[in-house]
Structures are given as structure tokens and as C-alpha cells.
Structure 1
Amino acid sequence: MDEAFEEWKSKKFALTVPLNVVALRDSIPPSWIKEFIQSQGKRLKFTVKFNGSLESIFSELSVPVGKSKVKPSSIMVADVVSIGDSWLNFAIKKALIEPIQDVEDQDWYNNLSTKWKVLLRRNSEGEIDPEGKIWSAPYRWGCMVIAYNKVKFRKNNLAPMEDWSDLWCPELRGRISMVDSPREVIGAVLKYMGASYNTENISSQIPGGRDAIHQNLTLLAKQVRLFDSAHYLKAFAVGDVWVAVGWSSDVLPVVKRMSNIAVVVPKSGSSLWADLWAIPATSRIETEPIGGRVRGPSPLFHQWIEFCLQTARALPFKQEVVPGASPAAIEGPVVVPKELFEGKPKLDTNLIGGVPPSDILEKCEFLQPLSDSTLADYRWLAANMQKPEHRLMDRVHQAVSSLVRFVSQISLKNSTKISS
């Protein structure tokens, strides 16, 4: 027995702590994973699963759960998931995520800008509330931008784009593609009219009220050839449109592969978006076990957030490895050393390290939850908006189909020659 006891004492038993993260693909620098594992040592059992879209992540979080077992691979039992700020109020209201505990004791929270604290503190209905709880933590943000083809503009003697009002230029009729988001499209009209994205009472705060917005929205619809969040950049890349209006996270990776493109944040301000870390709520899951997770977040949750918000983590954003900016840059652009871009093609843009200039950033806004009455106005405007026909994408699909048939015919001819 003594010999057996001594043998048992000689063995090393390591306590491993799991941290399962579901992240939006291409939203975090690849170096983060390696560096976080190194920072935590052998005690960490770290897994990262990437998902193609925030909509997909949110859809899986929203799946109804009953008494059937939840799989360990399910997003709803991850320790941390990516969520977009536009989904935050709904996720809170439907109890899809849970509040972060003990945030006031955490350095990462205390070091956050007041702008973030205002955005993140919500009541149980998902509404911004200074007395509410903190439901998420930011790790990346960006803005709505306008990209345009400089060659097409020069050939047609058009001035460079600077603001939302340029979208109404008569020469650009049918030459614009734009995301299919009522909040962004109507928001662009509001900014064009000198109002806020978060205007609550359209009738009293906007001269001419809903009818005036509808009139400008109708004019914009005639300018836009394609409203389509999935394909608006494809139309821009093939040259069917000269201007693309979309989120910087979409636009910047695409235009870097193109030449003679400029990207601007409108000088009257733009909408801001943010990617956030949130904790899926396990209280609504009735089964035991709930995948691979114990009830309650991982003990390493705060370490992960602290890591993502460290100053050193901002470098990949400055290097444009990943589009966007570090949460610390919300107060304004930081100095970006020129040597980071030596030997790299420089994009013509007013973004500085992914951040709008300070005078423009002051006019930018995060999209806040709207009241029921304002949402009703948005629904009315969207329902009465005449969108362009999707002939453009039909032509794109036809061109792709023709190319596939052509390649197939060539392959068939070659195989016939070989067999003969």
C-alpha cells in the first residue's frame, strides 16, 4: 500500500478550464487565438468555432428548446458568442443571452469609454437604460461607408463623393448598389435631411414629417439599381454600378482587391456598428446535461474579454489584417505608424486605422432601439418604397451560367479528343 501511495503522489493532475467561443468568421485576428492560449498556459481547454454570419449565429441562438438533449456543439451552450449590436435588444428581450456579472470589478469594463457603457447598459426589455445591466462586451466596431469608382467619376466629370447628398446626384441614377436594410436606407435619408438616425418622433422632429421622408426615399430608390445585402458588392466589383453603400466590414476587404476605388465616411456622419461578445442564456434549457457546459459562464470569461481589449490587440486592426477598429479607438483615430504599410498598396480613404476623422466621428451614431410608433413609421416607409427590379442580378447569374456551360463544353471536347 505504501508503494502504491508513493506512485500515486508522483503523478501530475492538471486542472483544465474550458472556454468555448463561437465567433463571426474573419472578425477576430488569427493571432488572438495563439496568443490567448499562450497567456493562459496548460490549464486552458480552448475551442473556437467560426460562423459565416451574425444572422446565422442569432438564428441558432433563437432555436426553441424543449426537453430534448442539447448537443455539445450547439451555439446556445457555448461560453461566449459573437453578436451584432443591432440584435442586442431582441436577444435580451427574448432571454437568449444573460447579463455579465460583477462587471464593476473588472478592469476591462472600468477602462471602457462612456460611449460603450451607454450603449451596452440595457434593461430587461433591451432598451438603453442607465440603471440597466451590462449584457455584452465590444471587441470590434466600424461604420457605414460609401465606395466609388474613381475612373468612372473622372470620365464623367463627377466630383468626388463626400456626403450622403451626393447619392441624389442625377448622373448616378441607376449607378448605385446599397445594403437592403430599412434602418440604414431610411437612416441615410434622415442624415441627408440633417436629422439623426435615432429620430424618435418623425412627425414632430422632421419638417414635412413622414411624407417628406417618403419623397426623398422615393428619389433615392430611383438612384439605386440594387438593394441587396448579399450581392451589392458583386455588382460594384463587376462594374455594373459605380457606387456601393455598405458596412465597412463588407466593403474594405472587397475594394482592397480592386484598383482606383475610394472609400469615404460621409462628412455629416454615418451609422456605427459593433461586434460584441455575449453569454448565451442556459436558464431556458431544461435538459441535463446541456452539451459540454456547466450552468453558468466559464471562469475564464473575463480573462477572454480582458485579453481582447488589451492595447496590444489593436495592432491587427491598425495593420488592416481585419477590417474594423479596437473599442479603445471609439474616442477618435489613433496614430498609425507609416512603417506598418510600407510596401502595401494604399487605399484612398478618409478612414484612419479603420476610424473616421474626429470631426466626422462626432457626428456618427450607434443605432438605438426604436419605439413601437417609430417602428410603425419605418414599416410604412419600407412598404411604400418602390425598389428597383433585380434584373442586374439576373444578368450576373446568366453570365455565370453561360461561363459554366462554356467550360463544360470545352471539357467535353477535350475528353472526346483524348478518347478518340
Structure 2
Amino acid sequence: MTNNMKNVFDSSNTYGMAKTFVLISLYALLIAIGMHKGVKIFLYIAGISGALLLTYEWFKMDRPSIPTFFIAPLLFLIYVLISPGTFLIDARLAGRFACALFAGVALQFFFSNATYKVLLSQCAALLTTLFLGVTYACIWAPEMFDDRLILSYRNPHQLAVAGAFSIFTLFTYLSIFSKKKQLLVYCLFVIIGTAIFMTVSRSTSLGLLCAFAAYILFYRSKHLIKIVVAAGLLGLIAFSILPATQQQRLIDPFTAPLNDRTIKQRVGIWYTALQGFDEAPILGHGLRAYSDYDSDYKEAHRAEMVDKNILIIDSRWAHPHSLYLGSLFGWGIVGTLLLIGAFIPAFRHSSGRIKTFLFLMTFFSLGYGLTELRIKSDDGAFILFFPLGLAYGSILFEHLSQKNKTTSEYPIQTKPCITKILTLLN
């Protein structure tokens, strides 16, 4: 890209307008995540526009060198795109992952001062949805509280995962609030935590437990006993307000796991996923190939599965209901190692609140992923890869700021209206 092209781009104010567009699209994405409405369109808009702006910025800075470890997440995305086990079958998933990743990179690289505001917009959207939903239920549909809490979400898991994201955001940025506002944040913890508990999403509860247990062990081990006691008391109080049927739903996995129908279903799903991994351990089949593989395997090996007392459900399952088995079945050992490798540099080189947020979200996914797999969905891809993008965005910003002036320091002549919008959003 020549200097003349750069000057034309900047003087026409396109650059300032592009930044404004990307920032607004990021706000829209986080609000969509909080409300679980319109996630797909805003994920693609934010991811693609963010990637284009990052590419232009790289050319504008005369193509500076980038740390070689940045190739780690790109290698995984390319592998998923190609899907060597079943050529190009997961190309659509690669697009979702890439959009979530580059949306996070763009947010932290261009708008690091506004990151917490953008993330908190998801909390605001979730709380607004909760307030409106609970108010409606209390007045016109009290029967909504007799079963698992869903409100306007499609299923309890989506509400629970959105709540977990909000809790991690508030926890990560708690110190930026004044002491008076921190009291309000503690109240929000209780409200969101109660909503999550009322969804009776066991996978989400396991993810939260895994995330905070890891955080305590790594960062707050001295206060382990106090935290465990406090968490136990809160858990008992929350458990007591659940309907009897939902209390039993939480008890069964510990007292009678073989009598729990959901666990029985999972065993059958995991069995076929393991057989698929055994057939293609190196390259995998492609994650989107699981539905056909599961149906075909059950049909061909029904008698064998019956002899092993494995519950067979004649439904088409979209995925293996486990992040671990999903990765191994879909992308084999090679793809799974690339996925792990994409996170290692982010943990090693990020710092501060971004590293804390990545830590919490990653360990949440590790716990949640034991029995669920949501990365095939737009919001699921966001949950895993957006925090990773934030970490890489912070690393990239620090690296390039040592070689050139950062983006915010470029003397671009922006129109007053664009300047006002950027100032307000930042």
C-alpha cells in the first residue's frame, strides 16, 4: 500500500468512520450476547470489520514484524477450515471461530480503554432481559418459575452461560468501581448467580466451579477455607429455594447417576464419539460429520450397544456433548493439539485484567465442556474464542507500540461527529 493510498484513506476520514463502525459493532455484539438476539449477524459484522481494520493498520504501519507465536491460533483456524478428515466440512465453524477471535483482537487493540465498557454492555443487556422477563412472569405467567428458568432465551443453558460471562466480567473489573458501586456489583452477583442457579444448568455450575476453584488455587490459596465455607453456605441457601423436581435433578448425578436420563443419553453419545475417534485418531472426521456418523454407527452396531446396556436414542445429535470428545472426534490429535497450542502463547504473554478474564473464561469452558459443547453455535464460538482474541489483541498492542505510535496517537483529521461518537463510546 503506497503512501498516497494511505493519505487518501486518512484524509477522506474513512479511517475514523471505520473505527467508529467497528466499535459500534462490538457494542452491538456484546448486547446481542446478553440478550441472545441477533448474535450471528453482529458476530460476523464485528469479526470481519475488525479483521479488515487490523489488516489496514498493519499496512499503515509499514508491515511491522509480528511475534511468531501469533501463527498458533491461525494454524488452528486453517486446520478447521480445511478439515482434513472430511475436506472443508467444518469451514463454516472456522468462520465463526475467526470472527469471534478477530472481534476480540480488534476490541483490545484499537479500544483498550473501552474494553470494560463494551464487556459491561453485555451485563447491562442480560440484567435488562432478566428484569423484563421476571417482571412479565410475576404478573402474567407465574408458572414459568415452576420449571427451569428460561425466560426469553431458547433454553436454560443459553441464559446460564450468558450469566456466567457477566459474572466473570464483573469479577475481573470489580476494582475499577468505587467502594459504593462495589456494593451494587455484589448485589448483581447475587441476582445473576440466582438466575443461573434457577436454570439448573449443571454444566454451567460445573464450569463456574472449575473457573473459581482454579482462580482460588492460583491466586487466592491463602483464603481457600473461608471461600469454600462461604460458597457452601450460599449454595445451600440457593438450593433450598428450588422446586423439589429441580433439587432432585441436582442430587441424582451424585446419588444415582445411572438413573439420570440425561447422563444415560450422554453415555450413548460419548460412546459413538469414542468409536469415531478410534477410527480416525490423527486427523479426525470433522466436527460437523458427527451427526451422520452417530446415526450410522447406531444403526450398524445396535445389537452390540444393547448388549453393553448403552441407551440408544434414535435422534440425530448435532455434536458429542463434550468439548474434549468433540475436539478429538472432529479434528483428531493434530487438531486438538493445535487448539491447545492456540491458548498457550495467550496465557504466557498476556497480563493484567485481560489475562484474568481469559483465565476464568478458559477454565469455565474446560468445566462446562466436560458434558456440553456449544462451539458449533455462534454464541458458543464467542464464549471460547473472544476472550482469546482479547489476549492476543493486548499482546499485539504492546508489541507494535514499541515500534510505532499506537493507533490512538495517529494525527487523523476526523469529523466532529465521529470524534464525539468515539469519545462517548470510549
| TM-score interval (norm. to shorter) | under 0.3
The structure that is strand-richer by fraction is 1
Normalising to structure 1: TM-score of the pair?
0.25
Higher relative contact order (CA 8 A, sep 6+): 2
- When Rg is computed on C-alpha atoms for both structures, the one with the higher figure is 1
